[in-house]
Amino acid sequence: MDEKENSAGGQTIIRIFYALVTLAVGAGLAFFVYSNVTNPDAKFPFKLGLDLAGGSHLIYEADVSGIAAEDVPELMNVLRDVIERRVNIFGVSEPIVQVESSSFVSEEKTERLVVELPGVTDVSEAIKEIGKTPLLEFKLLVSADSDGNPTYADTGLTGRYLKSASLQFVGQSGQGGLSNEPIVGIVFNDEGAKLFEEITRENVGETLAIFLDGGLISAPRINEAIVGGEAVISGNFQPDEARDLAENLNFGALPVPITLVNNQTIDATLGAGVIEQSYIAGLVGFLLVSIFLIFWYRALGLMATIALFIYVVVNLAIFMFIPVTLTAAGLAGFVLSLGMAVDANVLVFERMKEEYRSGKASREAARVGFKRAWSAIRDGNVTGLISAIILFWFGTSMIKGFALVLGIGIIVSVLSALFVTRTLIVALPNVKRDEPGIWSFLFGCGLRK
């Protein structure tokens, strides 16, 4: 009997130890979150989206009408990288550049590029900087139309294959001495070099015109096949013009033409209002949920409230560490997830209530309650997670923020219910319903014992 009592006492100590560790970890995360929120120079601050931090929001539409469907995703990724390099050079803090395709149910597929520039309120300057990136194309002279104007055939060789560009000078003999003509030497990547060699080999004697942003700048004759992937752009440039062209090409030549279809400037004060309102909504929601849990489930509700608090700080810590870009829609998803996080606890508590009232002790009732509620918890949260994944995959940038926060919240809520809440509950005294004392009442539920 003594050995049995000693074993039970040892297990109780272990349960209490695990509960204390859980509370300590929760307190540590809470302190970490508080420190980062209140410290302006924090290492892991919250990353706010454009609608909260303020800045410029630009939407460009890409012209992919002449491109094979299977090549569009790759070209749009190249375009995104090019624009990213372009906006980075004028000091934007953490710009967001992402590709958005039209819905798969849409009749006419469109490809768009969304550019978010936090802190940039001069939208005209942002448009100007992005617009500096040139569109480089190589086309073959085919013939002249009825009006005598030359027509050109696409070769597929564009700035997407460009590896580097540099300012060079070519010596020319002229009256009065030697002069230097500024040109731009370009080097293609391996894929572009093969394509360039193939074009020049198959079109010896033809004219290969070089277009920049749709304008003809050079039309050299192909005398022989050019291997090595090097070419020259000459167009009676001034030195400054050639240097600027080389610089812009190095920052990235656009693989496809883009057109600005929408621009918007968002004031940071609007974002501050949203943050304050979301904070109040979250606090009120947390308090109301906690009051209900404690009133209806008593001791179990108190443990669930503590678990819910740990759930909140774990989510906030994840937002800081990853980091997750928080938007107004994302904050709405987080506030919504507070209510959803209680769902698993309620399922467990209702199952546990049935077992406790049938005569089982509180710890055995908790074990059976968690086991019986698991299938419902699993199915409900997997369904919610699938919905969040679909929203993130097909949604716009605003919907993506909502879906990401919701998905993280679902995963953390399951872990919170299965581990945090359970650890705290089994650390409580083991009692039965018919035992005298306050604990038998605290393990009751609703308006009766």
Query: Shortest CA distance to 162 belongs to which of 131, 185, 132?
Result: 185
Tally: H helices and E strands in the chain: 13, 13
173 and 210 part of one domain: yes
Q: Where does the pLDDT of residue 177 fall: very low under 50, low under 70, confident under 90, or very high at 90 and above?
A: very low
Mean pLDDT value of segment 190-207: 91
pTM of the model: 0.64
79 and 36 part of one domain: no
Residue 1 pLDDT: 47
195 and 283 part of one domain: no
What one-character DSSP code corresponds to residue 114?
E
Residue 178 pLDDT: 43
Query: Shortest CA distance to 140 belongs to which of 71, 257, 77, 221?
Result: 221
Q: Is the pLDDT of residue 82 over 60?
A: yes
Q: Is the pLDDT of residue 44 over 80?
A: yes
Distance CA 369, CA 349 (A): 7
259 and 272 part of one domain: no
**Domain end (from 244, 264, 284):** 264
Distance CA 95, CA 88 (A): 7
Q: Can you list the alpha helix ranges (DSSP code H) found in 43-189? A: 50-53, 72-88, 123-131
Q: Is pLDDT larger for residue 222 or for residue 448?
A: 222
Distance CA 321, CA 319 (A): 6
- Assess contact for 141 and 209: CB atoms under 8 A: yes
Query: Shortest CA distance to 251 belongs to which of 118, 426, 390, 129?
Result: 129
Total domains in the fold of the chain: 2
Query: Shortest CA distance to 408 belongs to which of 355, 331, 354, 348?
Result: 331
Mean pLDDT value of segment 369-388: 89
- Which two tokens mark 219? 């039309």
What is the CATH number for 16?
Answer: 1.20.1640.10
H or E stretch at 155: strand 150-158
In angstroms, what CA-CA distances link 324 with 89, 117, 246, 264, 271? 24, 16, 37, 23, 17
Q: Is the pLDDT of residue 174 over 50?
A: no
Whether 447 maps to a domain, the answer reads no
Q: Identify the domain containing residue 369 by its residue range.
A: 2-48+267-442
pLDDT tens digits, residue range 364-378? 888 898 888 888 888
pLDDT tens digits, residue range 232-266? 877 777 888 888 777 767 766 677 788 889 888 77
Mean pLDDT value of segment 114-120: 80
**Domain end (from 249, 264, 279):** 264
Whether 301 maps to a domain, the answer reads yes
Mean pLDDT value of segment 39-48: 82
Work out whether strand 258-266 and strand 150-158 pair parallel, antiparallel, or are unpaired.
unpaired
149 and 18 part of one domain: no
86 and 29 part of one domain: no
- Assess contact for 254 and 134: CB atoms under 8 A: yes
For residue 192, the Cα-to-chain-centroid distance in whole angstroms is 31
Residue 133 pLDDT: 59
Residue 434 pLDDT: 79
pLDDT tens digits, residue range 295-353? 998 888 999 999 999 999 999 999 988 878 788 788 888 877 777 778 888 888 888 88
Q: Is pLDDT larger for residue 121 or for residue 4?
A: 121
For residue 221, the Cα-to-chain-centroid distance in whole angstroms is 47
Mean pLDDT value of segment 441-448: 74
Residue 305 pLDDT: 92
What is the CATH number for 175?
Answer: 3.30.1360.200
**Domain end (from 245, 264, 283):** 264
Mean pLDDT value of segment 189-210: 90
